[in-house]
Amino acid sequence: MASYQKSEAREWARERLIGAVNCTIPSFTTDLTAINETGIRHDIQLAKEHGFLGTLGVSEVSITLPEYLEFLAISKDEGGDGFVVVHHASWSTLEQNIEAVRGAEAAGADLVLLSYPPNFYPQSEQEIYDYTKAVCDATNLAVILFPMLLWGFSQRIHPSDIPTRLIRRLLDDVPNIAVIKAEGGFPSIMGIIEAHRVFGDEVVISCPIEGELLPLGQLIPIQLSATSDHEFWGATIPQAMRLLDDGRFAEVTELYWKMHPARKAKAAIAQQLNGGAFINRQLWKFQGWLQGYNGGPLRLPTQRIHDPQMGALKKGLIDSGYEPTSDPFSAFFVGRNPV
């Protein structure tokens, strides 16, 4: 259960959510019949070692709700009270999402990342309002509102994905919306600038894209970078957040340019495999594996990743001065803690 009251969600977020939150994709047994507790605990331990304040328990993989809730409970148990576990509210229907968010709260999640189902096709702002409010009303947990191109709202609703006027209504009516993950209109930076200017005094504004975080964090205060595949960078993003907080902008800039070869490789592979229409979780799991995370097999249906993409990502890290794993790529598909 949450350590705060629903009415305290925004205050809790302002005080507690300082730093970076990565993503943890569930690990499975070798025969893919169950989740792999050892692999999950390995990933939470390493996230803590890397300095992350918490992790998103990714649900956009082939996993049942009971398995997913067990995954969250394991993550919370391994992370402890000081580690923030974020529920990924990404299930197929409103009814399933309400069931899932209630189960996640009981499993020990601290925070919710609100998603919208692939079959959700709103034709008005009111439909987005109604869906969002229904999920938020079903939980006492603080919620991250997520304007994002993946939802497909920009063509019918507004180019910013979720317009400011709709966010205003939601913040007025839904007290547990405590964070805005500001990716509206991506790749434009206007979404985060507008969110900071209009809502920054009321809720926490998260900048999840590291290529925006490091420059913009030198111009506007950004206390949170959540949630993203920051595990690709090992301990770098928590380190960068500390440097930004200390005002050590020259060091942040140096870090930015050091990362640039890997950043370009990552962006090129993501565009090649994703086309901007979805997130390749197999790719994200491999990115973490390069930095010591568990890796391991995923169930069908899942996206694929092949030698050219794996090689380009590893070379990008090497060109940026990192030391990714020397294990053969075949080891990724087994995982570091096979069960």
Environment class of 32 (CB within 10 Å of its CB; exposed 0-12, middle 13-18, buried 19+): middle
Model confidence over 68-111: pLDDT tens digits? 999 999 999 999 999 999 999 999 999 999 999 999 999 999 99
17-31 mean pLDDT = 98
When pLDDT is cut at 50, 70 and 90, the band that residue 1 belongs to is confident
> Is the pLDDT at 277 greater than 90, yes or no?
no
3-state secondary structure the chain: CCCCCHHHHHHHHHHHCCEEEEEECCCECCCCCCECHHHHHHHHHHHHHCCCCEEEECCCCCCCHHHHHHHHHHHHHHHCCCCEEEEEECCCCHHHHHHHHHHHHHHCCCEEEECCCCCCCCCCHHHHHHHHHHHHHCCCCEEEECCCHHHCCCCCCCCCCCCHHHHHHHHHHCCCEEEEECCCCCCCCHHHHHHHHHHCCCCEEECCCHHHHHHHCCCCCCCEECCCCHHHHCCHHHHHHHHHHCCCHHHHHHHHHHHHHHHHHHHHHHHHHHCCCCCCHHHHHHHHHHCCCCCCCCCCCCCCCCHHHHHHHHHHHHHCCCCCCCCCHHHHCCCCCCC
Structure confidence at residue 15 (pLDDT): 98
User: What is the longest distance spanned by two Cα atoms in the chain?
Assistant: 52
Length of the chain: 339
> Is the pLDDT at 150 greater than 70, yes or no?
yes
Domains (range + CATH), the chain: 6-249 (3.20.20.70)
Model confidence over 179-230: pLDDT tens digits? 999 999 999 999 999 999 999 999 999 999 999 999 999 999 999 999 999 9
> Is the pLDDT at 275 greater than 60, yes or no?
no
Nearest to 10 by CA among 172, 248, 151: 172
Single-letter residue type at 92: S
127-139 mean pLDDT = 98
